[in-house]
Amino acid sequence: MPATAPAATNKLATAFDRGLVIFDGAMGTELYRRHVFTNRCYEELNLSSRKLIQQILSEYRNAGVDVLTTNTFGANRFKLAAHGLADRVADINRAGADIAREVADDPQRPLLVAGDVGPCFSGRATAEQILAALREQIAGLIEGGADFLLFESLRTRRELEAAATAMRAFPETPFMLSVAVGALDATAGGEKLADVFAELPTDVARPTALGLNHGQGPEGLLEPVKAALALTTLPLVVQPDAGGPKEVDDRMIHMSSPEYVTEYAKRYIALGVAGVGGCCGIGPDHLAEMVDAVRSVSRSRVRATLELAQSEVEPQPETPVAEKSRLGYKIANSRWCTSVELLPPRGYELAGLVQRSKRLRAFGVDCINIPDGPRASSRISAITASMAVLQQAEIEPILHFCCRDKNLIGMQSDCLACAALGIRNLLFVTGDPPKLGKYPKATGVFDTDAIGMAAIQKRLNQGIDLGGEELKPKTEALIGVGLDPTAIDRDRELDRFRRKAEAGAEFAITQPVFDPDALLRFLDEIQQCGVPVIAGVWPLASWKNAQFLQNEVPGVEIPADIMDRMVSQESREDQLKMGVAIAREAVDRVRDRIAGIQVSAPFGKIEIAMEVLQGNV
């Protein structure tokens, strides 16, 4: 496949440039749900039941999608002939596009219209007859107002090339080729993805984007997505079907709830896809859930880079790491560091947090980690909690600084507030999307991500603010960043960490480490960055706690053997002992390769954290 989109500008390419593009879902499923049975020609409904098609497309529009797909999947000469409608190809396609155009042309939020073209074939048709049928359908869709053509559910290389060849007659219209996935690494036609996604011949039109659809459910597309991303640099759109039921404890359960589909959409986005949506069995409810959950995720992905204003101010020399804080001194001198993560309270009473922090200081812990709205929860300001820990418990905090909730102006103000309060250790994190919390209608800001905030803080440390103005005195923050050694997209995580190092990171803290070997492999690949790494450690409190972390907390991957060890213990007490033992084993395995550990205190029980730290402070 070509590495670049067509040279001519088009609306689809512009949409991808702006960020994640959300496509709609199935049309046939929605028609069947409204008691239109399969003995009808669904495409003919564009002529006889215009309002019904409008209603379905309006539900997708109201769900918040960016692209509406015309009801023309089978509107080619061969398939319409089975219903005696071969002479109505132009009328049906033109009407299908016109209906979608009418729904899409909302002055408040205009949407794109994808002219849908399904597989076009006939056992007795010649290649030229197939091309003629494709061109006939395409012409009707363009005349009706489609912004681009979506060739979907393609099963073979031959069908892919036929679509691209047909588009030579319409050089000004962008198009996308989407392949139906059958088995793990093959199309529905049994051909290898690598063969189907190979470079197109030079004598055919060039697509703006590629896609994958079907897949026997969202899970079935995960590995093909990874493979496809390695085969092309064109934007990739993923539209799974609902899949069939799965056997769970001898029950057959349909897994594709809106929440389930959305979780996989977030995984696709983490891998680097440019668009998500659905096909057979995926409806407006799925898309509404998906839109709410991925908007902030996609925005943070798009805003990964930050252009800082040019400044004529001469940068001041930065304070050496060893002089920034006690944690900085230990890191600079290769001394073992320990910290415990304590959540700020949901209310405003800080006495319990301070008391636990005092006990940990007496135990020998160096710092208290204070998360900033973890899992999109609303808690007392992390800065306020950090100030109480620093001033009342007399132990240094490591403040998690989240990019979700404030714009750049507000975040710079908070950086300056930390400097004024003496909070020196800052861990910049992009943040969980609002949908993860109990405030699903809250919006994420994400003006930048952890990479951008590390760069901003580095410049503040040089006496230059966000707008390029001189800052006196300069700040002296120790710049920390997050690290996920078991990320689904390992290459992307490695690239992001290297960019964090370039932006100014001076230490890193990992996601909870349950696979020490994965961390060691990651450390081998980033050692040239020269950023000391503190390993996150989460002692599993119970089997249910392990299940929750595995299924609900982004970035946490617990190996199967660890899950097996936890479930092998019958009582909660024994499960807790096993969890502590697993955590201590992980620390022992990586101790000589890391700068220290951050231990979480499950449910605020610092005694569990102290058990893990015994002999490691």
The model's pLDDT over 515-554, given as tens digits with 9 standing for 90+, comes to 999 999 999 999 999 999 999 999 998 888 888 777 666 6
Q: Judge whether residue 4 has pLDDT over 60.
A: no
If one counts every other C-beta atom within 10 angstroms of the C-beta of residue 168, the result is: 12
User: What is the pLDDT at residue 610?
Assistant: 95
- Show the 3-state SS of 415-478: HHHHHHHCCCEEEEECCCCHHHCCCCCCCCCCCCCHHHHHHHHHHHHCCECCCCCECCCCCCCE
Q: What pLDDT does 516 receive?
A: 93
433 pLDDT higher than 50: yes
112-117 β-sheet, strand order: 21-22, 275-276, 236-240, 209-214, 175-181, 148-154, 112-117, 67-69
CATH class entry, domain 11-302: alpha beta
Return the pLDDT at 6. 42
Vertex 199: Cα angle to 14 and 150 (nearest 5)? 45
Q: Report, as an integer, the average pLDDT of 500-516.
A: 94
The C-alpha atoms of residue 59 and residue 392 are separated, in whole angstroms, by 54
| Amino acid, single-letter form, for residue 467 | G
Whether the predicted pLDDT of 5 surpasses 50: no
Lowest-pLDDT range, 29-43, 208-222, 358-372, 439-453?
Answer: 439-453
> Is residue 184 pLDDT above 80, yes or no?
no
Domain with CATH 3.20.20.220 in the chain: 335-613
Residue scoring higher pLDDT (199 or 87): 87
Encoded amino acid at 353, one letter: L
Q: What band does 443 get if pLDDT is binned at 50, 70 and 90? A: low
**What's the token pair of residue 103?**
């729904």
> How high is the pLDDT of residue 551?
66
Residue 431, pLDDT score: 78
pLDDT(297) > 60:
no
Q: Check: CB of residue 389 under 8 Å from CB of residue 355.
A: no
d(CA 507, CA 522): 15
pLDDT for position 407: 87
Which has the minimum average pLDDT: 198-202, 299-303, 341-345, 396-400? 299-303
Q: Is the pLDDT of residue 384 over 80?
A: yes
Ramachandran region, residue 535 (left: φ > 0; alpha: ψ -120 to 50; beta: rest): beta
Nearest C-alpha neighbor of 555 from the set 607, 517, 596, 518: 518
If you average pLDDT over every residue of the chain, what do you get? Answer: 88
pLDDT band at 248 (very low <50, low <70, confident <90, very high): very low
Q: Is 45 helix (H, G, I), strand (E, B) or coil?
A: helix
How high is the pLDDT of residue 449? 85
Q: Provide the β-strand partners of residue 509.
A: 482, 534
Q: Does the pLDDT of residue 306 top 80, yes or no?
A: no
As a whole number, mean pLDDT of residues 158-172 equals: 94
Cβ 24 vs Cβ 55: under 8 Å: no
Distance in angstroms (rounded) separating the CA atoms of residues 389 and 392: 6
pLDDT at 257 over 70: yes
Domain 335-613 belongs to what topology? TIM Barrel (3.20.20)
Q: What pLDDT, on a 0 to 100 scale, did the predictor assign at position 7?
A: 43
Question: In this predicted structure, what is the pLDDT of residue 493?
Answer: 87
Give the integer Cα–Cα distance in Å for 99 and 54: 6
pLDDT of residue 303: 43
**Most confidently predicted of 180-189, 321-330, 423-432:** 321-330
Per-residue pLDDT, 466: 86
- pLDDT tier at 300, thresholds 50, 70, 90: very low
Between CA 262 and CA 246 the distance in angstroms is 18
Rg (CA), the chain: 27
Give the pLDDT score at 375. Answer: 66
Q: Which ranges in 282-423 belong to alpha helices (H)?
A: 284-302, 321-324, 326-332, 351-363, 382-392, 408-421
Q: Are 219 and 242 contacting, i.e. CB atoms less than 8 angstroms apart?
A: no
Q: Which two tokens stand for residue 327?
A: 């944690």
| Percent of the chain as helix, strand, coil, to the nearest 5 | 45, 15, 40
69-111 pLDDT, tens per residue?
Answer: 999 999 999 999 999 999 999 999 999 999 999 999 988 889 9
Residue-wise pLDDT for 125-158, tens only, equals 899 999 999 999 999 999 999 999 999 999 999 9
CA-based nearest residue to 595, from 321, 383, 377: 321
Q: What does the pLDDT read at residue 94?
A: 97
Output the six-digit token pair for 139. Answer: 């012409």
- The per-residue pLDDT for range 454-469, each reduced to its tens digit, is 999 999 999 999 889 9
Q: How much is the pLDDT for 146?
A: 96
Portion of the chain with pLDDT greater than 90, in percent: 62
The model's confidence at residue 434, banded by pLDDT at 50, 70 and 90, is: low
How much is the pLDDT for 615? 85
For residue 243, with 0-12 CB atoms within 10 Å meaning exposed, 13-18 middle and 19 or more buried, which class applies? buried
pLDDT (tens digit, 9 = 90+) per residue, 563-596? Answer: 899 989 989 899 999 999 999 999 999 999 999 9
Residues ≥6 apart with Cβ < 8 Å to 90: 136, 139, 140, 143
Structure-block tokens of residue 403: 């990019």
pLDDT in tens, 225-243: 988 998 988 999 999 998 8
pLDDT, mean of residues 398-422? 92
Whole-number pLDDT of residue 121: 77
Which segment of 145-159, 308-322, 330-344 scores lowest on mean pLDDT? 308-322
pLDDT 10s digits, 44-67: 999 999 999 999 999 999 999 999
Please state, as a whole number, how many other Cβ atoms lie within 10 Å of the Cβ of residue 1: 17
Instruction: Tell me the percentage of the chain whose pLDDT exceeds 70.
Output: 90
